[in-house]
Amino acid sequence: MKNIKAFIVICILTIMTVSSSFGKEINDSMALNGIKEAKSVFLIDFTDIKTTAFYLKIIQGTHKGFVKQGVKPKMVLVFIGKTVKFLSTKQDEAFEMENENELKSIQNSIKEFAKLGVRMEVCAVATDVFKIDNSTIPTQMNIIADGFISLIGWQTQGYKLVPIF
């Protein structure tokens, strides 16, 4: 009889523990404790268009997550390397046909970031290296002289680096 009572108590406690864990809100309250504003600079350096499109959506989710949790996001996206090729509004016809969905997703993300007030910077060193005409970069984006200098400047101003590559 004692074993049955102990078993029942253990089962009830287990059920209570499991059910209460399902009811917990998933958030970042411990990390965001007391924070009213979050300053971040994302270093974006991908060699793959699908990865670029995917992570731009993820970063949008990060922005929304901050807002949902009562923190004002101040975000800067710095694009360097081959990634700048995927930002251009003028693509090679074959590349555009192969990657139509990703290119549309990237352009939509750029528009959404602009609406959210996210600063987007494109490294002129990279556009030069990859032969991208700066006039084909969307107007919502800022062409900057050097992505590395920009990253150092933002970090010196208190922005936290989030490297994505």
Query: Is-contact 83 102, C-beta < 8 A?
Result: no
Query: In terms of C-beta distances under 8 Å and separation of at least 24 residues, what long-range contacts does 59-65 make, across chains too?
Result: 59/113, 59/164, 60/109, 60/112, 60/113, 60/116, 63/113, 63/116, 63/118, 65/28
Question: What pLDDT shows up at residue 22?
Answer: 61
Query: pLDDT digits over 93-139, tens only?
Result: 999 999 999 999 999 999 999 999 999 999 999 999 999 999 999 99
Question: What pLDDT shows up at residue 92?
Answer: 92
Q: What is the mean pLDDT of residues 45-71?
A: 97
Q: Which two tokens stand for residue 132?
A: 């991208």
Could you tell me the domains of the chain? 27-164 (3.40.1260.10)
Half-sphere exposure of 126 (CA within 13 A, CB side): 25
Question: What pLDDT shows up at residue 5?
Answer: 54
Give the chain's end-to-end CA distance (angstroms, integer).
61
Question: What pLDDT shows up at residue 7?
Answer: 46
Question: What pLDDT shows up at residue 19?
Answer: 46
Q: What is the mean pLDDT of residues 33-40?
A: 96
Tell me the CA distances in angstroms from 68 to 32, 64, 65, 95, 106, one per residue in order: 12, 6, 5, 37, 24
pTM for the model stands at: 0.84
pLDDT band of 77, cuts 50, 70, 90? very high
Q: Across-strand partners of 75?
A: 40
Query: Is-contact 75 61, C-beta < 8 A?
Result: no
Residue with tokens 């049955």: 4
Question: What pLDDT shows up at residue 62?
Answer: 97
Question: What pLDDT shows up at residue 126?
Answer: 98
Question: What pLDDT shows up at residue 160?
Answer: 98
